[in-house]
Structure 1
Amino acid sequence: MRTPLVTLLLAVLCVEQAHPFMCYVCQEQESNKNCLTISMCAEEDKYCVTVHDNVGTKPSKPKYIISKMCSPTCPASGQQQNQTYPRVSCCEKPLCNVNGVSSKQSSSGMMSLGVLASVTYIFTCGL
């Protein structure tokens, strides 16, 4: 079982972007663990976007929500310099928004980890 997983992971990482790429997608979730749904992006989409928003009412107990999506552009957040919310981050590789704090230049290691986690989950659930 290990060989097919490794082969699949290598295939995903080596495929050039001939087809639309994939991103993790979710809407207003309280945890990144609820944001691991993979979606094929539209052909015009070039970015995986992650948005963190502070919805807490008490400064001492912040509450955050996270949304992830595909996008043709990287939405700008004029307030990102001082880390006020909402905080928007973008990346340009398939499944690069796995960890919820992606940056413009994501590491291939995190992407590999995301792909491996997704493949493992699919096989263990028998999907």
Structure 2
Amino acid sequence: MKTHLVTLLVAVLCVEQAYPFMCYVCQEQESNKDCLTISMCSEEDKYCVTVRADIGTKPNKPKYVISKMCSPTCPATSQQQNQSCRNVSCCEKPLCNVNGISSKQSSYGVMSLGVLVSITYLFRCGL
């Protein structure tokens, strides 16, 4: 029984791309907690993108807005325009742009940790 569950878990992870690609989306929100709407991406979209634009005018209190979207390409990682700065982060896994600014390394780490915890739970429960 344990072997069947582990095999099923591995199969689900391997066929991940067979399901529609999804990302978190929002436009110019002041908090990441307001950027947790999930959207189905179009077929050509391969990246989840997070853009953090610094718009603050006070040096000691920077203010920024967060935008998240699906994209067929990964935009330039950072740009400075008119004394404002944009930090851009791209990742290639479904829903990997959950954090305010995410990265490929952190999304792989979180996914690996989730798989490890699931397998450990299955073995501890004796399934």
Q: Is the 8 A contact 2:49 2:89 kept in 1?
A: yes
Instruction: State the partner residue of 2:99.
Output: 99
Structure number with higher strand proportion: 2
Letter of the structure 1 residue corresponding to residue 107 of structure 2: S
Task: Give me the TM-score of the superposition, normalised by structure 2.
Answer: 0.68
Q: Note the C-alpha offset of 1:16.
A: 2.4
Matched, 1:57 2:48: no
Counterpart secondary structure, 1:67: strand
Instruction: Provide the C-alpha distance between the structure 2 equivalents of 1:53 and 1:60, rounded to a whole number of angstroms.
Output: 16
Distance 1:92 1:106, change over 3 A: farther
Which consecutive residues of structure 2, in runs of 5 or more, have no partner in the other structure?
Answer: 1-8, 114-127
Q: Is the 8 A contact 2:22 2:38 kept in 1?
A: yes
Counterpart secondary structure, 1:107: helix
Q: Is the 8 A contact 1:24 1:48 kept in 2?
A: yes
Instruction: Provide the C-alpha distance between the structure 1 equivalents of 2:99 and 2:53, rounded to a whole number of angstroms.
Output: 15
Instruction: Provide the C-alpha distance between the structure 2 equivalents of 1:104 and 1:112, rounded to a whole number of angstroms.
Output: 12
Instruction: State the partner residue of 2:68.
Output: 68
Instruction: State the partner residue of 1:116.
Output: none
Q: Is the 8 A contact 1:98 1:111 kept in 2?
A: no
The runs of 4+ residues in structure 1 deviating greater than 3 Å are 9-15, 77-80, 108-113
Which consecutive residues of structure 1, in runs of 5 or more, have no partner in the other structure?
Answer: 1-8, 114-127
CA RMSD of aligned residues (A): 2.8
Calculate percent identity across the aligned residue pairs.
Answer: 81
Letter of the structure 1 residue corresponding to residue 99 of structure 2: N
